[in-house]
Structure 1
C-alpha cells in the first residue's frame, strides 16, 4: 500500500467515533510500539490470575467465592507443564496468547494506518478488560456451586471452536486484503475476493465470533451470548455505518457494486 496518506472524506462526527485513522498512513512507531507492548503484557496478567488468583482476594472481601487451584496438566512438554495450570485454565491462557498474537500481527504487518498513543492505550485496555471478564467469570464459577473438575467442558469446546474459527477468519481475511492492497496495480480498488466475497466486513464478523467464543469458554452460555450480541450490535450500529460512509465516499460506484454483489455485512447468510 502506498505510504502517502489519503484525505478522510467523512464527517467530523464519524471520525470521532472511529478508533482507526482511515487513510492516514503517517508513520507512528511510538504508538504501534506501545500497542505491541500492552498487548504482549496481557497474557502475563491473565496467567497471574489463573495461576495465582491475582485479584481474587478483593472478590473474597465482598463475599464472592472463587475456584481454588486444580490439578495441573501433564502434557509431557516441560514448558507447558511448568506453568502449573489445569487443562481448562491452560485453554483460557491460550486464548489470551492467541488474541495478543493476532492483534500484534495486525498492527505490525497488516495495518498501514497510523496509531496514536491514545488509541493504542484505549484499544489495548479494552481488549485486556474483555479478556479479564472471561477469566474472572471462570474463577467465579464457584458461586454456582461448581468445582473445576465438575465444570462442564461443553462451553469450552463450543467456545473454543468459535474462538478458533473467528480468529482465523479475522486474520486470514486481513492477510488477503493486505496482499491485494500491496500490489500497485490495485491502487484505488475495492478488494472483494477471498473471504470478503462472503461478507463486506468479514473481519468484524470474525472478531465477533472469537470474542463470543472466548467469553463462552470462560463464563458459559449466557456470557458468550451477551458478549456476542454486544459486538454484533456495536458493529451493526456504529462500526459498519462509519466504514460504509468512508468506503462509499472513497470508492464511489465500486463500493456500491460490491454492496450489491455481497449483501451480507458481518456474517455470511446471517447479517
Structure 2
C-alpha cells in the first residue's frame, strides 16, 4: 500500500520521506484513518486527567516543582459541563483540547482524500497529544502557568483564546473551501486559488501555527506562546512549505507559478 500511495507523487524521494501525508494518490486507507480518528479522540480524555486530576504531577513534585490548586469548579447551570468539575480557566483549556480533536477528526473523516498509514496516523496523533499535554502541564506548574492573576479571564487567556479560535476556524474553513472546489469534476487538475487561499498559499499551515501559538500562550504564558509559535513557523517555513511547494510546482506547473505571483504570502498574510 505504501508504494501505491507514492506512485502519483512527483516529488523527490527526499521530500517524500519528510512528509507524513502522501500526495497525488487517493487510495482508500480506512484502517489508517480510523487509527487517526481514535488516537485523536483519546486526547481529550488525556487532557482531562491532567487538568482535573493532576495525572503525572507526582513526578513534577518529586523534582521540586509546585503545581496550582484545583480552583473552584465552574457553575454554568449546564450539568454536562459542571459535572467536569473544572475551574473556568481549566475548562477553557480543556475546550481547546476538544476543539483540536474535533477539527482534526472532521479533516480526516470528511476533507482529506490522501492515503494515511497506521504508522503515520499514530505519529501525528502522538505529536498533537504531546503538545496538548505540554500546554496542560505548563498551566499546572506554578513557575510557568499563565494563570498568575486573581481576576478571570487573564490577559494571556484572552489573547491566546482569540488566536486559538481565529487559527482553528481559519484552518477548518480553508480546508472546507478547498474540498468543495476539488469535489467538482470540472476542477480536476486545477489549483485552488480562491477563498482564504487567496490570502496565503498555505493558509492552513499558517492557521495551524496561529492556533498552536494561542493554545500555548493561554496555557504557559507569553514566552511559551512565542517559543512554540516560532517553532511551528520555522518548521512549516523550512520543511512543510518547501516540500509541498515542490509537489505543487510539478503537479500544476504554470498555474502554480501564476498563483505564486498573485498570492505572494506563503503562510500568514502580511507576515510571511
Q: TM-score, normalised by structure 1?
A: 0.95
What's the counterpart of residue 262 of structure 1?
263
What's the counterpart of residue 43 of structure 1?
44
5+ residue gaps, structure 2, are none
Helix, strand or coil at the partner of 1:141: coil
1:143 shift after superposition: 6.4
1:85 partnered with 2:123:
no
Distance 1:121 1:143, change over 3 A: closer
1:25 shift after superposition: 1.0
What's the counterpart of residue 19 of structure 1?
20
Question: Partners of 1:22 and 1:218 in 2: how far apart?
Answer: 34
Question: Partners of 1:145 and 1:177 in 2: how far apart?
Answer: 36
Distance 1:92 1:212, change over 3 A: same
| Equivalent pairs, count | 268
What's the counterpart of residue 58 of structure 1?
59
Distance 1:70 1:142, change over 3 A: farther
Alpha-carbon deviations, 1:229-262, whole Å to 9, x = none? 0111111100000000000000000000000000
Helix, strand or coil at the partner of 2:142: helix
Question: Partners of 1:102 and 1:167 in 2: how far apart?
Answer: 7
1:146 shift after superposition: 6.9
What's the counterpart of residue 74 of structure 1?
75
Q: TM-score, normalised by structure 2?
A: 0.95
Q: Is contact 2:25–2:115 with CA below 8 Å preserved after alignment?
A: yes
Q: Is contact 1:70–1:148 with CA below 8 Å preserved after alignment?
A: no
Runs of 4+ in 1 over 6 A off after TM superposition: 143-148
Distance 1:197 1:76, change over 3 A: same
Question: Partners of 2:144 and 2:257 in 1: how far apart?
Answer: 51
Q: Is contact 2:146–2:219 with CA below 8 Å preserved after alignment?
A: no
- Matched ranges for 1:125-204 at <5 A: 125-141=126-142, 149=150, 153-204=154-205
Question: Partners of 1:131 and 1:231 in 2: how far apart?
Answer: 14
Question: Partners of 2:142 and 2:260 in 1: how far apart?
Answer: 44
5+ residue gaps, structure 1, are none
Alpha-carbon deviations, 1:106-130, whole Å to 9, x = none? 0000000011011000000000000
Question: Partners of 1:146 and 1:41 in 2: how far apart?
Answer: 26
Question: Partners of 2:178 and 2:151 in 1: how far apart?
Answer: 44
